[in-house]
Structure 1
Amino acid sequence: MHGIRTGRASGRRVRSAALTGLTALTLVLTTAVTGQAAEQPPSPATTTSATKAAGTSSETSTLAVGSGEDCTATAPGSKERRAGAVESCVTVTPAPAKAEARTGFAATATGDVGSCDITNPGSYSYERFSYCVTGINVTYILRNANGVEIGRGTLAVSTGGDLSATATTWSEQVTVTMTSAAGDVTALDAKFRASCTAGCTATKTAPWYNSDLVVGKTLTGTVTYSSPQTTGSSASFLTSYAMYVTSPGATAVDPNASWKNARQIRCDDAVGGTSVAGCAVPSITPVVPMDTRTSGQGAAVAAYVWAQTNLDDHWGRDKLLTRATSGISDRANRTCGSFTAIDIIPDDTCAGFPFAETQEGGIDGSQCAEVIPSFSNGGWDFTALNGGSDLDPTTPCVRAHVPAGNKSFADTQLTSGFQAQRVIDADQFELKVTATSPGSCLNSPPSGSRQSGRGWIKNTTETVPHINRTDPSSPAGERASVAQACLGNPYELGSDATGGEITGWQDAQAFAALPGVPTAGLARCHLIANVFGGTGLVGDGGLTNLVPCWQVGMNTGTPSMRTHEAEVVNELDADDFGPNDSIFYEVTPVYESADSTIPIGVNMTGTLVRANGWSHPVFDDEFIPNTQGNSGSYNLGN
């Protein structure tokens, strides 16, 4: 990625004109994409066009009521008949709007099951993996022989369920509250039954069995469903609901209130790869994310965002992509078969877009823009290779020259996105690509950290029953735990370990005094080295940064903590270490048990992260044992 320069004879640098906005994409693309999606109105359930505005993460649909007013004659001799009622009638309607906010379903029922839109009572709200409805009013009315109402009671019903991308069973929370009563209706009995259509089984149909209600009382419980699938199979179905609402003591033979879910649920085992079976709401467009930031291998992803931004089709953003699980090799060959690698890109590989994994892929490569992405000065640059075509925005595709690892990194994100969102064959999906500033730990100091030079340091502790295990009378205390540092330039010196009774120190002295243990010096080892900011004094919080160790062994020698600390310092002092480069450094003491006061060693990691997102280990992850010298013996850990 380094070494791409302007003015090469083989191509034309294109950062202006069609690409003028792309330099800033590293900073603003996430906002821009989100804003574009937010401007689109929720799409109706019937929308199927590939040009459907992508990005809608939640939608609503009107309640599908299964019956109008359902009336039944009251039983001769019943309490209702004696009060003059000759019939009872039940209706199902949306409740009047009472709020202008979205609320978690937990506001009306126990448990979190997505979000319900209470500005549209009686409308179902959907996300890819959840559905719910609030504000279903079930009204029970008693009428006399003249058709005059002599009593009324109202029930408010809410239901909602969370689906799993990795399971084909789920539960649905049901809540019924009696909200009003008038006249001869003072109480109601409300039985509830759930069911589902072919491809699904309601494995628990009744959320409760004690079904009596008075004004202000709430019944809540769960129903459960199952839709097992075999490899490659898929089933779509509706959930349905019925209620038997009567006066107390009366018996309803048939349900007198019913409705069904307005949208289908789909369970499948058809995503492929290592994915297991799971369920989703298929009418909600899945959003497959990609970004350039992770691992600093973002060249292929940057090319995709360039295509989304600059080519008229804006595939995956304004026009949905459609997954195609067969013919991938053929489509890839049509786009990339004529691709010629160039020597300035290590392990040069063709990254084609639209993807070969979609129906929209497979465009003849001769029609594609051909570019080299490179990161410089805080943004992605692109060098055009195919003959000064002025990068016609009507160009239908792009072929990017990227290292093979970058292409693999993008492919992994695409596969993971299909699995996480349950995108199966013929599913349309939005591709949400973010070319964010790679950033580093310098930009995100965690809670509990302290500033140190250009970066920060954070020490953590764990409670132990005794500060010295060999002395049961010693008080409880804290032992040093994970220590992290984000190191930039300039960095600063810390402080020496010159005193203080650190946890386990007496234990270490007792072990060193045992017969047969060679004479050697004990030390208080810094987890974060004092050469780049680690503290060691009582007054500067250094006791949480220290553990008992052998001076020659874990602390110094070869290999030792000192070995890798020196490697970190060498990187920080290197001429090419820039002001926005950083090293993320972590040391974790390893203890044998919860009451250990001295670690048996430490795990160490160090990663250099360049300002452009490229990263590599400063040293391989290492375990340094708390042994004496390089003998491998006399481990001080307890």
Structure 2
Amino acid sequence: MPLKYILLGNKNEKLGEAHIVLLAVGMLDSYKGQWDEAIIANPGDMDDKVSSVEVALNSTCSGMCSTTGPAFGGTHAIVTKGGDPVQSTITYISGVAAKSGTSSHSMPTYYVDGAAVGGVGVPGYDSAIFDGPDVRCDGEIGNTTGCIVFGHTPNVTFSKAKYRGAAVAYEWAQKNLTGKFGDANHLLSRYIDPLDPEAEKRRAKTCDRGPYAFPRGATGIPNDSCDEYPFARSWQGGNDGEHCIDITPRQIGGVWDVAGVTVDRGTPPNAPCIRAHVDNKDNTAAGGELGRAVQSDRILDSEWYQVIITP
């Protein structure tokens, strides 16, 4: 936040002007119910008669949140002309308890006052108020409270080099099915069935039940498994397997790419799902990545998220 302070004469006339930039740089750890902000006062242009700026900052935090402020130990920091930035830290602590099944939105509000100081004249004190980011903390995922900056679209990122056939299968579905499930314009929505929290029944509905049970081993993939997409743990998943397209991703020249995918059963593009022949290790690893993303991006039940595929 840019700030301007005026050095005044005895008759309140302007003798000089000083500028500083005040930054609040957050260090948000999504796995903790607290976050730190570095408060940095950077010197800017100051007229000849101004030697420094005195600046103080306090903050409050809305919602179920408390703060360790004020910054600079509760005193005015001295920002000198041509000098180094002055830094302090404020910690914000969420009052949401783990396993509480609740979430809370918090927004820091910063209260700043300061003045230009010189060898002559009278410091012209001025104040400002500005808001920080909207932070959502929850106790609904895992065994700890966690926080995110609200408004960011959560995502799960799968590298084709790391997750191989699994990542290629998801990319193929996004590029070839009308639903384009999980891309930036067709987000997935997380789904938790309290009677089926691991989505085993929904996965079985796609892979094992009905007239077209998934034919493991039919296309020669080692340790073959049924990798369903959209995920069974999404609102878009849990489809009847007979309506899915069965595909097999393969390497071509040592590279995993959608060019190596063959369609084994079904006719795109209007299918609501795919079932991919994927090595069970890659399938399991991709499932673990989804679980980690749910934790790190705090993806709540029914919340939208993007699936990103990288090389």
TM-score in terms of structure 2 length? 0.77
**What letter corresponds to residue 323 of structure 1 in structure 2?**
R
Residue 303 (structure 1) aligns with: 169
Residue 206 (structure 2) aligns with: 335
Residue 266 (structure 1) aligns with: 136
Q: C-alpha displacement at 1:257, in angstroms?
A: 1.0
Q: Percent of aligned pairs with the same residue?
A: 26
**Where in structure 2 are there 5+ consecutive unaligned residues?**
none
Indicate how the Cα distance of structure 1 residues 177 and 214 shifts in structure 2: closer, same or farther if over 3 A, else same.
same
Residue 344 (structure 1) aligns with: 217
Q: C-alpha displacement at 1:184, in angstroms?
A: 6.8
- Matching of residue 236 in structure 1 with residue 105 in structure 2: yes
Indicate how the Cα distance of structure 1 residues 203 and 241 shifts in structure 2: closer, same or farther if over 3 A, else same.
same
* Matches for 1:89-488 after TM superposition, within 5 Å: 136-141=1-6, 149-182=14-47, 186-208=51-73, 209-217=75-83, 218-228=85-95, 229-231=97-99, 232-246=101-115, 256-261=127-132, 263-272=133-142, 276-294=144-162, 298-318=164-184, 319-326=186-193, 328-329=199-200, 331-336=202-207, 337-338=209-210, 339-342=212-215, 344-345=217-218, 349-375=225-251, 377-378=253-254, 381-386=260-265, 389=266, 391-402=267-278, 404-434=280-310, 436=311
Which one has a larger percent strand, Structure 1 or Structure 2? 2
Indicate how the Cα distance of structure 1 residues 379 and 178 shifts in structure 2: closer, same or farther if over 3 A, else same.
closer
Does the 8 Å CA contact 1:271/1:425 hold for their aligned counterparts? no
Name the SS of the counterpart of 1:301 in structure 2.
helix
Does the 8 Å CA contact 1:192/1:207 hold for their aligned counterparts? yes
Indicate how the Cα distance of structure 1 residues 207 and 321 shifts in structure 2: closer, same or farther if over 3 A, else same.
farther
Q: C-alpha displacement at 1:192, in angstroms?
A: 1.2
Name the SS of the counterpart of 1:285 in structure 2.
coil
Q: Which 10-residue stretch deviates more, 422-431 or 222-231? A: 422-431
Does the 8 Å CA contact 1:245/1:257 hold for their aligned counterparts? no
Does the 8 Å CA contact 1:308/1:315 hold for their aligned counterparts? yes
**Where in structure 1 are there 5+ consecutive unaligned residues?**
1-135, 437-638
Indicate how the Cα distance of structure 1 residues 333 and 147 shifts in structure 2: closer, same or farther if over 3 A, else same.
farther
Give, in whole Å, the separation in 1 of the partners of 2:225 and 2:240: 17
Does the 8 Å CA contact 2:31/2:146 hold for their aligned counterparts? yes
**What letter corresponds to residue 70 of structure 2 in structure 1?**
T
**What letter corresponds to residue 266 of structure 1 in structure 2?**
R
Q: C-alpha displacement at 1:187, in angstroms?
A: 4.3
Indicate how the Cα distance of structure 1 residues 355 and 250 shifts in structure 2: closer, same or farther if over 3 A, else same.
same
Indicate how the Cα distance of structure 1 residues 334 and 146 shifts in structure 2: closer, same or farther if over 3 A, else same.
farther
Q: C-alpha displacement at 1:403, in angstroms?
A: 5.1
Indicate how the Cα distance of structure 1 residues 230 and 150 shifts in structure 2: closer, same or farther if over 3 A, else same.
same
TM-score in terms of structure 1 length? 0.41
Deviation digits for residues 216-275 of structure 1, max 9, x if unmatched? 3443211111114321332221111111224669797xx7211111x3112223233xx6
Does the 8 Å CA contact 2:9/2:15 hold for their aligned counterparts? yes
Give, in whole Å, the separation in 1 of the partners of 2:35 and 2:5: 31
Indicate how the Cα distance of structure 1 residues 216 and 299 shifts in structure 2: closer, same or farther if over 3 A, else same.
closer
**What letter corresponds to residue 140 of structure 2 in structure 1?**
A
Structure with more relative contact order (C-alpha pairs < 8 Å, separation 6 or more): 2
Indicate how the Cα distance of structure 1 residues 344 and 190 shifts in structure 2: closer, same or farther if over 3 A, else same.
closer
Indicate how the Cα distance of structure 1 residues 340 and 138 shifts in structure 2: closer, same or farther if over 3 A, else same.
same
Aligned length: 290
Give, in whole Å, the separation in 2 of the partners of 1:177 and 1:221: 12
Indicate how the Cα distance of structure 1 residues 143 and 392 shifts in structure 2: closer, same or farther if over 3 A, else same.
same
